[in-house]
């Protein structure tokens, strides 16, 4: 019975360590706020992807419903567009299928 309590206690301690690690990672994730202009509203979301060492930033124009993924190219010293989506067109295409 003593062995079972020790194993159970070790499991609880291990679980708490994992939960503290997850909480730490979540609190260290960079935050961004939406920027508002007269006609445009933007949201920026940092992310990562396989094969992209510098990371990715997704930028969404909420007024025009457009989404673009960008990254930094160290060789060219410039921002590179990885992809673009018109979310309004995507939504209407999905509804018509």
22-36 pLDDT, tens digit each: 777 666 766 666 665
Residue ranges of the domains in the chain? 1-30, 31-97
* Mean pLDDT of the region 9-24: 78
Query: With left for phi above 0 and alpha for psi between -120 and 50, is residue 65 left, alpha or beta?
Result: left
Provide the edge-to-edge strand list for the sheet that holds 52-61.
Answer: 35-36, 41-49, 52-61, 66-73, 78-86
- Residue whose pair of structure tokens reads 């079972």 in the numeric block: 4
**How far, rounded to the nearest angstrom, does the alpha carbon of residue 93 sit from its chain's CA centroid?**
25
For the chain, what is the mean pLDDT? 80
Cβ–Cβ under 8 Å, residues 56 and 70:
yes
Q: How far apart are the first and last CA of the chain?
A: 61
pLDDT higher for 39 or 18?
18
Q: What is the pTM of this model?
A: 0.56
């Amino acid at each position: 019975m003593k062995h079972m309590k020790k194993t159970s206690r070790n499991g609880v301690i291990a679980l708490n360590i994992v939960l503290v690690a997850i909480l730490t990672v979540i609190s260290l994730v960079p935050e961004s706020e939406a920027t508002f202009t007269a006609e445009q509203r933007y949201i920026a979301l940092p992310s990562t992807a396989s094969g992209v060492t510098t990371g990715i930033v997704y930028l969404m124009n909420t007024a025009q419903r457009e989404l673009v993924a960008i990254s930094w190219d160290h060789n060219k010293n410039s921002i590179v567009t990885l992809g673009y989506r018109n979310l309004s067109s995507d939504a209407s295409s999905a509804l018509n299928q």
